[in-house]
Chain A
Amino acid sequence: MHRKLAAIANAEAALVTASGMGAISTTLLTVLATGDHLLIQEALYGGTNDFVTHELPAFGISYDFISLDDAAS
């Protein structure tokens, strides 16, 4: 299935997760480590917002929300 999905989307590879929250939390935990600081745009699904504000600090990862309408933010 991964190979077929990648072919449909002209992508190198694909990874399937059981839910959108599975996808975004796996992605964030893959690229972030303790001590990192995350800049993330603020128009988020509620579950993603909760993950960033409640779960990431437990891993020692801090965050700031930025506005896509304001480059200075």
Chain B
Amino acid sequence: MNGHSDIVGEETALELARFLERHPAVARVNYAGLPSHTGHARAARLFEGFGAVLSFELKKGVTAAERFMANVRLPVIAPSVGGVETLLTRPATTSHAGMTPEQRQRRKISDALIRVSVGIEGARDLIEDFAQALVA
């Protein structure tokens, strides 16, 4: 809109993505704002910013994902997007539960995938919370 990005949480999303990408418990981070993302160059060319939604997988899979989601304090567990509060969900059990496991696998939506819709919380607070939940 109007030549600049108005998306709330976008800068925080990039900081959070960078934090997760460096974390030893994290297997994979999907965020077009990271140079490691296959769509990074195209997104940079086409969009003003990279949005406030990202996803990631933990090395220890579904069990670790469930533990992480039980341990975070700031985010709300919900499949919606674009709220003022950060929202976490496992798409395999919510937004994409209607697809067969084979369809999900083809789209790289594993059972362990955690989707984050970043809200307006301070980046440092959010990263601190993710850090404690990842080791708890």
Contacts and interface: CB of A to CB of B under 8 A. Distances in A.
27 contacts: A8-B1, A9-B1, A10-B1, A10-B2, A42-B106, A42-B107, A43-B107, A45-B95, A45-B96, A46-B91, A46-B94, A46-B95, A46-B96, A46-B97, A46-B98, A46-B99, A47-B95, A47-B98, A49-B96, A49-B98, A49-B99, A49-B103, A50-B98, A50-B99, A68-B39, A69-B38, A69-B39
Q: Which 4 pairs across A and B sit closest by C-beta, in order of nearness?
A: A46-B96, A46-B95, A50-B98, A46-B98
A46 B98 CA distance: 7
**Chain B at the A interface: SS class:** loop
Contacts, number: 27
Given A10-B1, A46-B91, A46-B95, 16 more contacts: A8-B1, A10-B2, A42-B106, A42-B107, A43-B107, A45-B95, A46-B96, A46-B97, A46-B98, A46-B99, A47-B95, A47-B98, A49-B96, A49-B103, A50-B98, A69-B39
**Range class of the A interface residue count:** 10 to 19
Nearest to A69: B38
A9 B103 CA distance: 35
A10 B2 CA distance: 7
Nearest to A42: B107
Nearest to B92: A46
Interface size class of B (residues with CB under 8 A): 10 to 19
Contacts of B106: 42
Contacts of B2: 10
A28 to B, nearest CB: 17
Contacts of A49: 96, 98-99, 103
Interface in A16-73: 42-43, 45-47, 49-50, 68-69
